[in-house]
């Protein structure tokens, strides 16, 4: 049993940037040479999240519309008064969606569906340099 | 330390089918003979999700009502135009709820609460043959 | 590779109590002496959840306001009729947010962001004695 921990660095454009990181995650799995086990994808920070969806332009807009309606970016939040950075909506969205995803692999293949991509959701109200930790545990 | 990976196959009736898979997950844990560690439950595909709740008829209706109100099935979504399959709502619900759940076990017992069942949530707008991967890592 | 499983016991005040458990989780990691791997934080029970956010008073209120608006505590739910305990909203919130969080660590350090705390969200409508399982897998 082995543990491989790598970090993907990604420049985002700020909310509502949705970035497909499946290829980068699979590259790390392939390089690890591990054949069965689980990988954890974890975004460091409190204004971004990890999710999975079919990465195509229509659904990207749907996801963006959904979050804008559920947790509007033009509303005032108590958090905004704390730091004056007006990104309360970013924190709320990130907390709800969550920073972490576990995906099993077997026979050296990640067990995602064909239309199930791993996506970094940038919710912050400015561009960011993101670190996504990919940790592979297996043999 | 060992890794056991099994797949549960489940025929669903389409949205809003909620299926209790706790017994199947526990069976896999018991068969693995592993005594301590963690198991990952992961549904393959982008229109279903894994969650936990008290699996009783009243709460099942509440969960169904909640998703229908939050992400209505009779609304139009951009994704619907991409494939013409009118299941944009299914994708959005699945992305929000998430495909993956990690549960620890110890002394050979899964550490769920008494009223905390593992549930496959089918959001797609038609019946599906689902694959749920259960991976046990431990010793 | 080793597995360390510990339980944190926490007295909550009932909904909408939000408790920062990052220090307790890091203590368990430090005591384990493991240097690289992943830890799972899992709350036992179906009316509480685990999330991450910047733990400051403004954002705590935002999270509380968000859940109160999305899944009101003063509404009637089908679940309430099942047990007569009027906490249908607690179950719905817990199911949506989820009981489980995986966080990687490396060089003996948990890979959380500076403003990314691990939070136990108590949604039940009364005070509870909670058990949060922290399981460290690594070497």
| C12, two tokens | 């909550």
What does residue A94 show for φ and ψ, rounded to 5 degrees? -65, -40
Measured between CA atoms, how close is C46 to chain B, in angstroms?
A: 5
Closest to A92 (Cβ–Cβ): which among C62, C96, C103?
C62
Give residue-wise pLDDT tens across range B64-116.
999 999 999 999 999 998 877 899 999 999 999 999 999 999 999 999 999 99
Q: List the pLDDT tens digit at each of the 139 positions of chain C.
A: 999 999 999 999 999 999 999 999 999 999 999 999 999 999 999 999 999 999 999 999 999 999 999 999 999 999 998 878 899 999 999 999 999 999 999 999 999 999 999 999 999 999 999 999 999 999 9
Residue C5: inside a domain:
no
Residue A5: inside a domain:
no
Residue A6: inside a domain:
no
Q: Does B108 touch chain C (CB under 8 A)?
A: no
Give the whole-angstrom CA distance, residue B11 versus residue B16.
13
Question: How much of chain B exceeds pLDDT 70, in percent?
Answer: 100
Report helix, strand and coil shares of chain C as percent, to nearest 5: 30, 35, 35
DSSP string, C13-31: -STT-EEE-HHHHHHHHHH
Detail the DSSP E strand segments found in B44-128.
48-53, 100-106, 109-110, 117-122
Q: What would the 3-class secondary structure string for chain A be?
A: CEEEEEEEEEECCCCCCEEECHHHHHHHHHHHCCCCEEEEEEECCCCEEEEEECCCHHHHHHHHHHHHHHCCCCCCCHHHHHHCCCCHHHHHHHHHHCCEEEEEEECCEECCCCCCEEEEEECCCCCCEEEEEEEEEEC
Residue A3: inside a domain:
no
Residue A2: inside a domain:
no
Q: How confident is the model at residue A18 (pLDDT cuts 50, 70, 90)?
A: very high
Q: Does B27 touch chain C (CB under 8 A)?
A: no
ipTM of model: 0.97
Q: Is B61 helix (H, G, I), strand (E, B) or coil?
A: helix
User: What pairing do the DSSP bridges indicate for beta strands C117-122 and C100-106?
Assistant: unpaired
Domain range for residue B133?
2-138
- Total count of domains within chain B: 1
Residue C91: inside a domain:
yes
DSSP string, C22-69: HHHHHHHHHHHT--SEEEEEEE-SSSEEEEEE--SHHHHHHHHHHHHH
What is the Cα A99 distance to its own chain's centre? Answer: 6
> Between chains, do B37 and C3 touch, taking CB under 8 Å as contact?
yes
Closest to C81 (Cβ–Cβ): which among B58, B111, B138?
B58
CATH of the domain at C32: 2.60.120.460
């Amino acid at each position: 049993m082995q543990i491989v921990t790598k970090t993907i660095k990604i420049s985002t454009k700020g909310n509502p940037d949705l970035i497909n990181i499946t290829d980068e995650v699979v590259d790390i799995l392939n390089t690890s040479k591990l054949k069965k086990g689980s990988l954890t994808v974890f975004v460091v920070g409190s204004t971004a999240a990890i999710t999975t969806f079919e990465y195509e332009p229509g659904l990207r807009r749907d996801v963006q519309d959904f979050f804008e309606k559920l947790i509007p970016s033009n509303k005032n939040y108590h958090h905004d008064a704390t730091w004056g950075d007006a990104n309360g909506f970013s924190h709320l969205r990130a907390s709800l969606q969550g920073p972490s995803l576990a995906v099993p692999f077997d026979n050296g293949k990640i067990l995602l569906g064909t239309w199930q991509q791993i996506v970094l959701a940038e919710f912050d109200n400015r561009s960011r340099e993101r670190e996504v930790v990919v940790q592979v545990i297996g043999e």
